[in-house]
Structure 1
C-alpha cells in the first residue's frame, strides 16, 4: 500500500493513525475497522489526507473518505451512485447523482463481505474509467 506524503513530512497513513488514536472512542475504533477492511479489499489502496483532515482511500481515483462526526462515522464513496449496492449499505447522501454514503452509528455492525464487495466495485469502476 502506498500513501501520499504531506508537507510536514508525515505520511497520510501516520495522520490517519493519529486521528484514530485522538478519537479514543467508538468512532476511532470504527474508523480503524473500516480502514482495515479497505486495505483487505484492495491491497494496492493509497491512503491520502485531504481537505484539512479527512482520511481518503484511492486507487486510480478516490474510492471513499472516512469522516468522523459526533454521532456517526461516514464513509462517502466518490462515485457511489454508479456502484451496485445489492446489500443496501448506502443510507446517506442518496439524493445526488454522484456520491453515496454509509452512516455508521455507535453499536452498529458492518456487513464486512458487502462492504468489501462495494470497495472492490469502486476500484473496478475507477480502473474502467482510467482505461478510456
Structure 2
C-alpha cells in the first residue's frame, strides 16, 4: 500500500470530526504546494518537499499538525498553539469546532517549504 492509500485508510477509520478535519488539512497542504510528497512515517501522515514539512496525526481530542522546522518560521497569524517551547518544531492542535484560517495555514505551509529549500517566505 502506498503512502497516499495509507492516509486514505487512516482518514476512513476516523468516522467523526477528526476524519473531516484531516481531509480538510490534507487538501490545504496539497493546494499550498502541488509538488509536496505524501509519505507515511511513524504510523503518521507526513508531507515533505526537500525535507520534512509537516505531519498530521489524530489523537483522542485533537488533530495535531506538526511543522518539523516550525521554530524557524514566522507565524504572524499566531496559528501555532502547541509545542511552543520545542527547539525546532511547532504544532497546531485542532479541536472539534475549530475554525481553520485557510489562507494563513497555506502561507505557513509555503513558508515551511521555502525554509527547506533555503528560500525566503514568498
TM-score (norm 2): 0.96
Superposed structure 1 runs of 4+ greater than 6 Å apart = none
Work out the CA distance in 2 between the residues paired with 1:11 and 1:54: 13
Per-residue deviation, residues 2-23 of structure 1 (Å, max 9, x unmatched): xxxxxxxx11000000100001
Deviation for aligned residue 1:116: 0.2
2:66 counterpart SS class = strand
41, 53, 61: which one aligns with 1:63: 53
Deviation for aligned residue 1:78: 0.1
Per-residue deviation, residues 79-117 of structure 1 (Å, max 9, x unmatched): 000001000000000011200000000001110000000
Deviation for aligned residue 1:118: 0.1
1:109 counterpart SS class = coil
Work out the CA distance in 1 between the residues paired with 2:63 and 2:86: 20
Per-residue deviation, residues 18-54 of structure 1 (Å, max 9, x unmatched): 1000011100110010000000000001000011x10
Unpaired runs of 5+ residues, structure 1, are: 1-9
Tell whether 2:17 aligns with 1:26. Answer: yes
Tell whether 2:2 aligns with 1:11. Answer: yes
Tell whether 2:96 aligns with 1:109. Answer: no
CA RMSD, 1 decimal:
0.8
77, 88, 111: which one aligns with 1:87: 77
2:22 counterpart SS class = helix
2:93 counterpart SS class = strand
